[in-house]
Amino acid sequence: MRLWSLHPKYLDPQGLVALWREALLAKAVLRGETRGYTHHPQLERFKAHVHPRLAINSYLAAVHAEATGRGYAFDRSKLGPVRVVQLVPVSSGQLAHEWGHLQRKLATRSPAVLARWGDLVMPVCHPLFRRRPGPVASWERASGDA
């Protein structure tokens, strides 16, 4: 499971579809609808949110908006209520780590998408998150692949 802190606009088609599926799985976990993934480190920041379910809905809404903008037909009814929620802090170190991880994936899977963002040094974060200074998150797996 990879719930990117990066804005979904940087993802290639495969990455965007995978993010949608994985965020829906995260939503099911947060709702107690699955036994698996309940202790997955990518969910820590959602579980720590004052309104975890609303936070994941907000996360999904941004992914849905990106998909819609690209002409994809993701099912909006799977979102649930979307409200303005408190932003989740994400460190600059975490964003840099994820950016490097995504660049490696794109180099293999979608070189044209990588080229589109070639001059970008520090990408913007997903709209649910707020950048702050700091290192890679403690929940991040050392390999960078969740």
The model's pLDDT over 87-141, given as tens digits with 9 standing for 90+, comes to 999 999 999 999 999 999 999 999 999 999 989 988 999 999 999 999 999 989 7
35 pLDDT above the threshold of 90:
no
Residue type at position 67: A
Least confident of 1-10, 29-38, 41-50, 96-105: 29-38
Cα angle for residues 67, 42, 47 (degrees, 5° grid): 100
- Nearest alpha carbon to residue 20 among 54, 55, 77, 63: 63
pLDDT at position 143 is 57
The model's pLDDT over 56-78, given as tens digits with 9 standing for 90+, comes to 999 999 999 999 999 999 999 99
The answer to pTM > 0.85 is yes
86 pLDDT above the threshold of 60:
yes
Q: Which residues contact 113 (CB under 8 A, 6 or more apart)?
A: 10, 11, 12, 106
Contact 120, 113 (CB under 8 A): no
pLDDT at position 142 is 65
Tokens 């699955």 belong to which residue?
Answer: 34
- Nearest alpha carbon to residue 4 among 121, 110, 113, 88: 88
Q: For residues 36 and 19, give the distance between their C-alpha atoms in angstroms, rounded to a whole number.
A: 17
